[in-house]
Amino acid sequence: MKKDFLTLRDLSVEEINAVLDRASELKSGKDVSARDRVVSTCPLIGKSIGLFFEKASTRTRISFQTGIYQLGAQAVDISPGESQLGRGETIEDTAKVLSRYLHGIVIRTFAHDTIVKFAKNASIPVINGLTDLHHPCQVLADLLTIKEKKGGLKDIRLAYIGDGNNVANSLIEASALTEIDLVLACPKDHAPDAGIYETARSEGAKVKLLIDPEEAVKGADALYTDVWVSMGQEKEHEKKKQTLKGYQINKGLVSLAKADAIVMHCLPAHRGEEITNDVMDSPQSVVFDQAENRLHTQKALLEMLISS
């Protein structure tokens, strides 16, 4: 039976831990010395995985393309403008057809309903490379990064500062599944999805929504931010900059967290807006480790969903 990864909740706690453990193993290069190197390092040999991207991408596209190649499979780029979707073919029909050719597909799109509809009509695993509502692949990499830097996830205090966007939504789900102590500081009109937040709270997740960023970062083990204006929201740039100008991760804010706190950003960063140069380039910054970990966690995820 095929398994999709549309939100973090599509994996059980045990599966998340398995992905993180396998990602660490892949990152360490332990497989290189395995007796059957081809089977061990190329579990997807002979398979084809589609990449359907409606949004621009650097990390998601390159990390998936590289990871697919390293696992022995081929990546098939599917451009919306060059496929029949651009001429009116339905998502449902496209999903059914591509399921006959591919062994899995990564979709990066705007409306979350698009990927849900595709998955319902596909007989192959569908992976969410990003939607406006969720960014689960990013958060898998975030979890691996925190685990590497802090030795574990349970009771780690993570302060997310800024726009309550898709990353914030997926971090809320992560808190429910991993026992991370998550505090979000967002302006009232830019809070995370209420349904996702309330569901996590009802399940006993240690997640709290605040307005004051200084209160949120007190005692934090990790500080996290993202761009103030997501793709597709460019017309709101100046307005959101004014609303979020007090939600910048800078030296002053970092000083209120624990002395050994790490600073995280999913990239791309708008330096000087949500994060300052001196913080982004400081020894506490782990943003480029996060970016690298996209490759390792996604390889582990692909192996779990597609090799079986």
User: Residue 54 gets which letter from DSSP?
Assistant: S
Catalytic residue (choose from 108, 112, 134, 157): 108
CB 217 within 8 A of CB 224: no
DSSP β-ladder status, 157-161 and 126-130: unpaired
What type of residue is 150? K
* C-alpha span between 215 and 299 (Å, rounded): 37
Q: Assess whether 237 carries a catalytic annotation.
A: no
* C-alpha span between 180 and 152 (Å, rounded): 9
Catalytic residue (choose from 134, 226, 248, 298): 226
Catalytic residue (choose from 138, 284, 290, 298): 138
Q: Assess whether 137 carries a catalytic annotation.
A: no
Question: 3-class SS at 145?
Answer: helix
Catalytic residue (choose from 22, 134, 248, 266): 266
Q: Assess whether 186 carries a catalytic annotation.
A: no
Provide the b/e sequence for 120-143 (b: ≥16 CB within 10 Å).
ebbebbbbbbbbbbbbbbbbbbbb
Q: With CA atoms as reference, report the closest residue to 144 among 264, 228, 274.
A: 264
Q: Assess whether 233 carries a catalytic annotation.
A: no
Q: Assess whether 135 carries a catalytic annotation.
A: yes
**Residue 186 CB contacts under 8 Å (≥ 6 apart), including other chains:** 160, 162, 163, 164, 168, 192, 209, 211, 247
Q: Assess whether 138 carries a catalytic annotation.
A: yes
Catalytic residue (choose from 22, 103, 135, 265): 135
Retrieve residue 150's tokens. Answer: 């802090």
Catalytic residue (choose from 61, 112, 134, 294): 294
* C-alpha span between 240 and 42 (Å, rounded): 45
* C-alpha span between 8 and 176 (Å, rounded): 10
Instruction: Show which residues are catalytic.
Output: 108, 135, 138, 226, 266, 294
